[in-house]
């Protein structure tokens, strides 16, 4: 099979690889679509769980083409169309026993610590595949990032009638926007540097959009002089995270959702957090939230069509990764079996 490897820090190689074989309680999936995520950029830069060589890709959907030996009866069959939850929990450590699988002491993830979906085939535990029926594969590949957003909002518990501020109108920010709108917020404001992304945010339900940079703070104070009940970062930029505190209302909540560099640091005032009764929340990956993500897509509560900007064959993975990192695209996907697809296939 063809696969895209991270060979080392900032080193990529697309080459032939042995076809994987499913083991006990595993399935073999023919990958149809796999999204490029900010975590993939961190792996490329060598600062997020790197173990080279590695086939990345954790936002994936495809067809089950083989099953390994199964110790228990499974409903999964060859030919099933599925999305893959990349999270691998041991099930027996202290945190797994408390239902905190995403904090597993032996945590692993398909496409992050073991070979993933930037390949024609991938192996996954049968427990990690979710049937998606007739859902298009390029849509089903959004289930993983949506499930992360669902988990973040489960942590946040947005008060009904709250006004909310979201920094970032990339794919994650736009997914977050749609779910915040559905979560009982009265007003949602989105900030981004890119006018085109803000136009999409407005079309997906943002009540106000603000261009980041000079004048943004004044614009936000005009919209909500006393700040916002909920402020969410979807940029992963430390300076933006620090700026969140400027616009959170007293007794407000802040969600650090974007993936910042592991060594990043920001300056905050402990007295400010204390005196203003602020609540600061983190949200790592997902925790058994795939079913909710599937339901949101099936119901139409989330529209991902405006978010998919480019599709690339596996042979052009380096170009696709660079485009995703540039900020000039929305969601970029790899379609491993579309080798004849021309020019990165812009959305349509």
Q: 282-308, pLDDT tens digit by residue?
A: 999 999 999 999 999 999 999 999 999
What is the tens place of the pLDDT at every residue in 21-80? 999 999 999 999 999 999 999 899 988 766 899 999 999 999 999 999 999 999 999 999
Percentage of the chain surpassing pLDDT 70?
Answer: 97
> According to the model, what pLDDT value does residue 51 have?
84
Mean pLDDT over 140-152 rounds to 98
Task: Judge whether residue 343 has pLDDT over 70.
Answer: no
Task: Judge whether residue 342 has pLDDT over 50.
Answer: no
> According to the model, what pLDDT value does residue 50 have?
66
- CATH among 3.90.180.10, 3.40.50.720, 3.90.1150.10, 2.60.40.10 for 2-142+304-334: 3.90.180.10
Pairing state of beta strands 59-67 and 54-55?
A: unpaired
The answer to whether 301 and 182 are in contact (CB under 8 A) is: yes
- pTM equals 0.95
Alpha-helical (H) ranges within the chain are: 38-45, 94-97, 137-140, 143-156, 171-181, 195-203, 216-223, 238-244, 270-275, 290-299, 317-326
**Rounded to whole angstroms, how far apart are CA atoms 296 and 289?**
11
Domain ranges of the chain: 2-142+304-334, 155-282
Mean pLDDT over 124-138 rounds to 98
> According to the model, what pLDDT value does residue 339 have?
67
What is the tens place of the pLDDT at every residue in 163-175? 999 999 999 999 9
> According to the model, what pLDDT value does residue 48 have?
74
Q: Domain 155-282, what architecture?
A: 3-Layer(aba) Sandwich (3.40)
For 53-62, 205-214, 251-260, 333-342, which range has the lowest pLDDT when averaged over its residues?
A: 333-342
Q: How confident is the model at residue 347 (pLDDT cuts 50, 70, 90)?
A: very low
Task: Judge whether residue 345 has pLDDT over 50.
Answer: no
Alpha-helical (H) ranges within 76-164 are: 94-97, 137-140, 143-156
What is the tens place of the pLDDT at every residue in 93-110? 999 999 999 999 999 999
């Amino acid at each position: 099979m063809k696969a895209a490897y991270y060979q080392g820090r900032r080193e990529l190689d697309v080459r032939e690889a042995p076809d994987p074989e499913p083991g006990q309680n595993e399935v073999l999936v023919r990958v149809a679509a796999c999204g490029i995520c900010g975590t993939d950029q961190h792996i490329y830069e060598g600062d997020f769980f790197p173990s080279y060589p590695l086939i990345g890709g954790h936002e994936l959907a495809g067809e089950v083409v083989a099953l390994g030996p199964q110790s228990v009866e499974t409903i999964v069959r060859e030919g099933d169309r599925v999305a893959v939850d990349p999270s691998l929990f041991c099930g027996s450590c202290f945190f797994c026993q408390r239902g905190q699988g995403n904090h597993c002491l032996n945590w692993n993830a398909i496409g992050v610590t073991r070979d993933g979906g930037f390949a024609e085939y991938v192996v996954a535990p049968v427990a990690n595949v979710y049937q998606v029926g007739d859902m298009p594969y390029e849509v089903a590949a959004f289930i993983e990032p949506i499930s992360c957003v669902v988990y973040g909002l489960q942590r946040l518990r947005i008060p009904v009638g709250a006004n909310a501020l979201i920094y970032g109108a990339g794919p994650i920010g736009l997914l977050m926007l749609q779910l915040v709108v559905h979560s009982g917020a009265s007003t949602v404001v989105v900030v981004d540097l890119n006018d085109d992304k803000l136009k999409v945010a407005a079309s997906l339900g943002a009540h106000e959009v603000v261009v980041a940079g000079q004048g943004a703070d004044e614009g936000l104070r005009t919209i909500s002089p006393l700040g916002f009940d909920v402020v969410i970062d979807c940029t992963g930029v430390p300076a933006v995270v620090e700026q969140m505190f400027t616009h959170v209302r007293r007794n407000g909540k802040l969600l650090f959702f974007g993936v910042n560099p592991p060594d990043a640091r920001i300056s905050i005032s402990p007295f400010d957090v204390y005196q203003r009764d602020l609540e600061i929340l983190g949200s790592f990956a997902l925790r058994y939230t795939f079913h909710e993500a599937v339901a949101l897509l099936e119901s139409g509560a989330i529209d991902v069509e405006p978010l998919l900007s480019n599709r690339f064959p596996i042979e052009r993975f380096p170009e696709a990764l660079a485009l995703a990192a540039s900020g000039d695209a929305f969601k970029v996907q790899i379609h491993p079996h579309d080798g004849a697809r021309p020019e990165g296939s812009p959305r349509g």
